[in-house]
Amino acid sequence: MSFSWFRAPLAALVLAIAPGSLVSAEPASPVTVVTHFDVIPNGNNLTLGQALLEQFVLDSRSDPGVISFTLITWAPTTNHFQVLEVFDSLDAFNRHVTAAHTIAFRTAMQAYVGSPIDERLYTQNKRDDDHR
């Protein structure tokens, strides 16, 4: 069982409670998340797994700070799915991953995936004007 989805919220919690935690003066920047799911394609797994993914996307679109939430599939296969998520800040992402509907989805989805869920966070690359 993979707990990669737990990594970011745990890091945020540790920073929040650490003595002398730093507070950033920078404005929040958008966070893009790409999550890959390999659904086991035998039996009803594909149908049930895809239904869970579709409902998760619908539920997540109304989370505070969500800019977009989209489910896509890889054309050559029928069991590889990606969820493309854009949040207005890392705080919004952290609230989303700790939301009850996200935890319930991640728990239920474990029965239908054939490999660990691959979740990758991306932020805007800030350029240093002195190094152009």
Joined together, the tokens standing for residue 28 give 């929040």
Looking at per-residue pLDDT, the higher value among 15 and 109 belongs to 109
pLDDT tens figures, 55-106 = 999 999 999 999 999 999 988 888 999 999 999 999 999 999 999 999 999 9
Task: Measure the CA–CA gap between 43 and 57, rounded to whole angstroms.
Answer: 23
CB of 96 closer than 8 Å to CB of 68: no
pTM of the full structure: 0.73
Calculate the average pLDDT of the chain.
82
CB of 121 closer than 8 Å to CB of 33: yes
pLDDT tens figures, 16-43 = 333 333 344 456 799 999 999 999 999 8
**pLDDT attached to residue 8:** 45
Which residue ranges make up each domain of the chain?
A: 41-117
**pLDDT attached to residue 93:** 97
Task: Report, at the CATH architecture level, how domain 41-117 is classified.
Answer: 2-Layer Sandwich (3.30)
pLDDT at 10 over 80: no
